[in-house]
Chain A
Amino acid sequence: MTDTTQFTLNRRKTLMLMGAAGLTSAVPGIGGLRGAAFAKDAPSGQVIIGFSQEPTVFNPHMPHIEVDDGIHYAIFDPLVDVDPDGIFYPLLAAEVPTVENGGISADGLNWRVKLRDDARWHDGTPFAAEDVKFTLDLLNDPDFRAWRRVGTEFVRDIEVVSPTEITWRLEQAYAPFLAILASTFIVPKHAFDGVDPNEAPFNNAPIGTGAFKLKNRVPGDHIELEANTDYFGDGPYLERAVIKYIPDMTVMYTQFKTGDIDMLALQWITPDHYEEARNLPDRVVEIVGNPFFESIQFNMERPQFKDPAVRQALYLALDKPSIIEALYYDVPPVTETFMPRESYYYNDALPAHEFSIDKANALLDEAGWARGADGVREKDGVRLAFRNSTTSGNELREQVQQFVQQTWAEIGVEMEISNLPPAVMWGDFWSMGQYDTTLVGLGVLAGPDPDCSDFFRSDASPALGGTGQNYWAYQNAEADDLLARGASLFSPEERRPLYLRLQEVIREDLPFLPIYQYAVIPGRKAGLEGPHGNINNRIDTWNLRSWRWV
């Protein structure tokens, strides 16, 4: 039984250099994660994987949620992928483009990518550079319902040099681009010939280069994937993989116990079942890291939260240890930042949170927030009263809210719980800043890159007229500067101090009160090898190609 999977990125930091990434790609993957360490036999056996959400979107470039990624990683390949250590390795690319191997120009603007010559689409057509060009063009097609254009919007002058070589220019230096490529699945040009890409038959009958083919989908129930025996890389080892949709977590856990499912994946075993689960016979149950963090998020536009003393006092009066111990059974690790602890850019020297009702009270007294007749503090006509919202029906979060409500009442703060169904909660209510505070789980990184401009840049707040995901309406000139410089530098060692400082700035400003970093508890039958947590990927089946029974 292992505990939280922690990767020692700091010791590998030189490997993180993009210049070295090409070299490391030649090193066999740890434990066969990249499928390089095992001899290839005919695929055999099947695995049934339980997901609590149903994958329905098979075109990886149309709007989708994380569970759909589970299918995309099995059916398609990006040019490069990234392992749990944050190290890039080539998939459809012949090598990871770096400055050293001439793949990226020194200024980061001109890219030259060499491609594999032995990859084929599931229908037998050879994979070629035209497909890469088509994919990048598709993402920038104004009529296509693309789900993401971050990074690819800077791509210009794509040129197919040969079937195995492609070049393009980036309009501006953009360090996260390699990470973006690691989740940009290449789709076949010939599947879109003469059809509206939004309505293409491909969208329900995907053709990829990946280790598995889509065999069958029974809507509302399961998806059957079969081995692609012509896969260019190592694997697949399984003849068949079944993604089973089980919306209720209690039911999913029961089916894990009865053996009806071989692997319990997204949304994993709940913390209250962890003790029992880890002692089940013939089951492997581990805690693995996850890049999301749980926090209480402020709407910085509300007058109550303009005063830093208020945010600091609320943090002082937040009993984090009790929440994590009593409600989450000590499963997730406490955090002070948005950056996952597994990241090379994680700042482990941030001031540790202290729980002190006395200090919180003193701070508010000092800042002039006086208690009114009803015990609630106020200053200049602003009462320290607000709503806290999250997805209704999430019992664990509701317990956290009640707990926080009680402790905050002790410092003269009135918090009203006002929860909403998910489609309402995360719609305009959240994104247009109609909330006071939320209890929210967020991941701000796309893969291993530390760039989070979209979440923290002053001009990225929709409530303030911006277009990003800065839903707290956070504004700080130093953070803006750090983010701008960080995104334009290519050396991880040069970037690191900037992101360490960014975390300090945000820890000091407290636009959100960090509680814990997510840790999830997948479970599998003993004998199933291959599943491995990957902090740089949001889905359990990212490396399905190397799963096998032993």
Chain B
Amino acid sequence: MTRYLLSRFWQSLVLLLLVSVIGFLVLNLMPGGPLSQYTRTPGMTREMLDRIAEQMGLNRPLPVQYADWAWNLVQGDWGKSYRDGRPVLTIIGDHLFATLLLMGVSTFFAIVIGAWMGIRSAVKQGSLFDHSATVIAMVGFSVPTFWLGLIAIFIFSLWLGWLPAGNMYTVGDGSARDIAVHLILPAATLALVSVATWSQYMRTATLDVISQDFVRTARTKGLTPRRVLMKHIVGNAVVPMITLAGMQLPTLLGGALVTETVFTWPGMGRLFLDSLGYQDYPVIMGLLMFSAILVLAGNLLADLAIAFIDPRIRLD
């Protein structure tokens, strides 16, 4: 086990190095740069821009810039944003809570509802419920989140006036209740879209298990249908779902760009888009490394969890 973990660690390190080099190159080779937003400001001469670029160290050779950045990173310094001068880790931390809350709540509901729909559809394959669930899933897959969000705002905020049209909380309030009220529309919108994914995966996984010999054996042993379902079918169908959940971890923390935009939710998705728009290199690189670490950690966690649940799998 230790050997396995060690080898995974070294693999991850090499992968992170590659991701950082490629990310850094792509970012810096893109034409433009963080100063291009100032070119149209009256009084902003080329000379001034060049001087600012020099002060920010932007005109040093790329390998030097990379080495500088990487050395600082190793020492725990993720750099500072070009936009507001704050440390990158602080900025990520600020946006992480908003994203965790939104994604956590919506994913929880999406998984619970999706799994229930998926299992029920599989068990009652071909039933009205199964067909309806499939149709709903297809609609969920194809409806643009942006549109769904705006429709939700139109109905529940503008028309009925029940819920706020966006934002994470009322300025000056920010109580748990206030946040919960603001959370309903974005979380429901997001859950509605991802319930489709989860229910379809769960349905397929359950169908795979249902036709297995051990299920038939369990039935012939005379176990109640409920016990067969819960212990033998669901217990086994859930294994691929854990892999899926592990792979979803970075998505979970990466935020939901569209939903965050429609509901003005200050999460990671918006941070990424804004940083990209301003070419805020330190923050983009920070986000890149952060999500790469999450992907690796998510996969490792999923592998460990499966080994723990399924005794047939050995990790060495």
- The judgment on whether A and B are partners is yes
B15-46 residues at the A interface, CB under 8 angstroms? 30-46
Q: Nearest B residue to A58 by beta-carbon distance?
A: B84
Contact B95 A219 (CB under 8 A): yes
Least Cβ–Cβ distance between A213 and chain B, in angstroms:
16
A residues in contact with B95, CB < 8 Å: 219-220
A352 interface contact, C-beta 8 A: no
Per DSSP, chain B at the interface is loop
Considering the chains assembled together, what is the distance between the CA atoms of A468 and B47 in angstroms?
A: 8
A368 interface contact, C-beta 8 A: no
> Which listed segment binds A: B212-220, B264-272, B305-313?
B264-272
Q: Can you list, as one digit per residue, whether each of B84-105 has a CB less than 8 Å from chain A (1) or not (0)?
A: 1110000100110000000000
Interchain CB contact (< 8 A) of A65 among B30, B31, B37: B37
Considering the chains assembled together, what is the distance between the CA atoms of A143 and B271 in angstroms?
A: 30
Contact A219 B266 (CB under 8 A): yes
Contact B86 A423 (CB under 8 A): no
B residues in contact with A426, CB < 8 Å: 32, 36-37, 39-40
Interchain CB contact (< 8 A) of A63 among B52, B172, B270, B271: B52
Known A65-B38, A258-B158, A426-B37: A150·B277 in contact at CB below 8 Å: no
B residues in contact with A203, CB < 8 Å: 85
Q: Can you list, as one digit per residue, whether each of B257-275 has a CB less than 8 Å from chain A (1) or not (0)?
A: 0000111101100110110
A residues in contact with B167, CB < 8 Å: 221, 244, 260
A residues in contact with B30, CB < 8 Å: 423-424
A residues in contact with B37, CB < 8 Å: 65, 422-423, 426
Interchain CB contact (< 8 A) of A454 among B35, B42, B157, B166: B42
A43 interface contact, C-beta 8 A: no
Contact A219 B165 (CB under 8 A): no
Considering the chains assembled together, what is the distance between the CA atoms of A242 and B171 in angstroms?
A: 8
A147 interface contact, C-beta 8 A: yes
A20-70 residues at the B interface, CB under 8 angstroms? 46, 48, 54, 56-58, 63, 65-66
Interchain CB contact (< 8 A) of B94 among A63, A148, A220: A220
The count of chain B contact residues (Cβ–Cβ below 8 Å) is 56
> Which listed segment binds B: A246-254, A270-278, A378-386, A402-410?
A246-254
Contact B165 A254 (CB under 8 A): yes
A residues in contact with B85, CB < 8 Å: 199, 203-204
Contact A467 B45 (CB under 8 A): yes
Q: Can you list, as one digit per residue, whether each of A467-478 has a CB less than 8 Å from chain B (1) or not (0)?
A: 111010000000
Interchain CB contact (< 8 A) of B44 among A148, A221, A240, A254: A148
Q: Can you list, as one digit per residue, whether each of B44-84 has a CB less than 8 Å from chain A (1) or not (0)?
A: 11111100100110000000000000000000000001011
Interchain CB contact (< 8 A) of A445 among B33, B39, B42, B91: B42
Known A426-B36, A426-B40, A446-B42: A221·B168 in contact at CB below 8 Å: yes
Q: Once A and B bind, how many residue pairs between them come within 8 Å at the CB atom? A: 170
Considering the chains assembled together, what is the distance between the CA atoms of A429 and B37 in angstroms?
A: 12
Contact B39 A431 (CB under 8 A): yes
Q: Nearest B residue to A257 by beta-carbon distance?
A: B158
B279 interface contact, C-beta 8 A: yes
Contact A430 B94 (CB under 8 A): no
A495 interface contact, C-beta 8 A: no
Least Cβ–Cβ distance between A187 and chain B, in angstroms:
15
Interchain CB contact (< 8 A) of B171 among A150, A222, A257, A466: A222
Considering the chains assembled together, what is the distance between the CA atoms of A148 and B47 in angstroms?
A: 11
B residues in contact with A462, CB < 8 Å: 46
Considering the chains assembled together, what is the distance between the CA atoms of A143 and B52 in angstroms?
A: 10
B150 interface contact, C-beta 8 A: yes
Least Cβ–Cβ distance between B296 and chain A, in angstroms:
26
A residues in contact with B262, CB < 8 Å: 248, 251
B residues in contact with A430, CB < 8 Å: 36, 39
Q: Can you list, as one digit per residue, whether each of A217-231 has a CB less than 8 Å from chain B (1) or not (0)?
A: 011111010000000
Contact A429 B48 (CB under 8 A): no
Considering the chains assembled together, what is the distance between the CA atoms of A204 and B274 in angstroms?
A: 19
Contact A145 B55 (CB under 8 A): yes
Considering the chains assembled together, what is the distance between the CA atoms of A204 and B86 in angstroms?
A: 8
B residues in contact with A443, CB < 8 Å: 42
Contact A248 B261 (CB under 8 A): yes
Contact A220 B270 (CB under 8 A): yes
Known A423-B32, A426-B40: A204·B84 in contact at CB below 8 Å: yes
Considering the chains assembled together, what is the distance between the CA atoms of A444 and B36 in angstroms?
A: 17
> Which chain A residues have a beta carbon within 8 Å of chain B's beta carbons?
46, 48, 54, 56-58, 63, 65-66, 143, 145-150, 198-199, 203-204, 218-222, 224, 240, 242, 244-248, 250-251, 254-255, 257-258, 260, 420-431, 440, 442-446, 454, 460, 462, 466-469, 471
Which 7 A-B residue pairs are closest in the complex by CB-CB distance? A427-B36, A427-B32, A221-B266, A423-B32, A220-B266, A467-B47, A424-B32
Between A and B, 6 residue pairs with Cβ closer than 8 Å are A147-B41, A224-B171, A260-B166, A423-B277, A424-B32, A426-B39
> Which chain B residues have a beta carbon within 8 Å of chain A's beta carbons?
30-49, 52, 55-56, 81, 83-86, 91, 94-95, 150, 153-154, 157-158, 164-168, 171-172, 261-264, 266-267, 270-271, 273-274, 277-279
